[in-house]
Copies of this chain bind each other. A is one copy, B any other.
Amino acid sequence: MAGASGYAGGEILRLLLAHPQFDIGAVTAASSAGERLGGVHPHLVPLADRVLEPTTVETLAGHDVVFLALPHGHSGALAAQLPDDVVVIDCGADFRLESEAAWTAFYDTAYAGSWPYGLPELPGPAGSVQRERLSGATRIAVPGCYPTGISLALAPGFAAGLLEARDVVVVAASGTSGAGKSLKPHLLGSEVMGSMSPYGVGGGHRHTPEIEQNLSRAAGEPVTVSFTPTLAPMPRGILATCTARLREGTDLSSVRAAWEAAYADEPFVHVLPEGSWPATASVVGSNHVQLQVAVDERLGRVVVVSAIDNLTKGTAGAAVQCANLALGLEETLGLPNAGVAP
């Protein structure tokens, strides 16, 4: 587990503690190396006396699975030095994008290539699903937190040919842990509590190309998305409100049917009964995605709202789910199936 001092790393450790098949090996960090884990993550009581080791190939050697939760630009070199048969699950952005051009437009480090994309439930074209590419893989790129909630919300409609590729608009609210542990004034509790604010407005957020990649694959044509993220006064959770124009002649009931069919057999994605709406509190600490779909008939638009925990299904839960698939274990093993509410 490399990059264990951050919020994503802490959440991976929390899940691994409850996993019946994984033992926690080396736990590494960069600037926090040498510290007690109990000081960095006081909630991980059973690991309190572990000491963080430096993140090097040596400390990571000898494990069956290596989880990387590093700032972008650091995973490539490290992964290249790990044996091919070690399962490497990267929670960073480095290997998510298939297009070098898209990478270069949004990131400042060299393009590292792409790995199988770790969103097992993602509907693809012609009834395919992303899971197929993940079983037995030894390198997997865990999706970004926003792309997880947003892609799962809209992909069923694109895969079913119900949505137009233009004028897709997404506004999402994220808890503050999505911004990490960095010491920035606008992330102080005094500033955050009682306040909502946007950031990365106007198309600049790095998750935009990843969302478009997922939806374009489902649609079989290029989909563009106006995406605005906002910061909400809560530690965890993403609520994504996603709207798109319906293709003319789209039947109302076919909309609901498309979404329900896409996730009928999924253990972690739930289309709620009509009249219920997702709330981020319902999925805190769990690997679930809650979805609801509505049609605004007057405007001919669909509105899909999804709720995830950015740290669990949005990062660490997906990482463990992918590791399960990579190793041929039951996909749901060790993953919480209920949120911690209220």
- Chain A positions within 8 Å of B, measured between CB atoms, are 7, 10, 13-14, 17-18, 36, 38-39, 41-48, 167, 169, 171, 173, 175-177, 179, 181, 183-185, 187-199, 201-203, 224, 226, 228, 230, 232-237, 239, 241, 243, 245, 270, 272-273, 276-286, 288, 290, 292, 294-299, 301, 303, 305, 307, 336-342
A43 and B339: CB pair below 8 A? yes
Instruction: State the CA gap A340–B44 with chains docked (Å).
Output: 9
A342 and B198: CB pair below 8 A? no
Interchain nearest-CB distance for A120 vs B (Å): 17
A235 and B202: CB pair below 8 A? no
A198 and B305: CB pair below 8 A? yes
Instruction: State the CA gap A303–B340 with chains docked (Å).
Output: 31
B201 and A228: CB pair below 8 A? no
B226 and A41: CB pair below 8 A? no
| Copies of this chain, tallied across the complex | 4
Instruction: State the CA gap A233–B298 with chains docked (Å).
Output: 30
Looking at the complex, which one of B38, B193, B272 makes contact with A189 (CB distance below 8 Å)?
Answer: B193
Residue contacts A-B, CB under 8 angstroms, 20 given: A18-B337, A42-B272, A42-B282, A42-B341, A43-B341, A44-B339, A45-B290, A176-B189, A195-B237, A196-B237, A198-B239, A198-B278, A199-B277, A201-B292, A201-B294, A201-B305, A202-B294, A228-B303, A235-B341, A285-B285
Interchain nearest-CB distance for A211 vs B (Å): 13
B232 and A233: CB pair below 8 A? yes
Q: Which residues of B contact A298 (CB under 8 A)?
A: 203, 224
Interchain nearest-CB distance for A305 vs B (Å): 5
Instruction: State the CA gap A228–B228 with chains docked (Å).
Output: 14
Closest 5 CB pairs of A and B: A189-B192, A202-B294, A195-B281, A43-B339, A171-B171
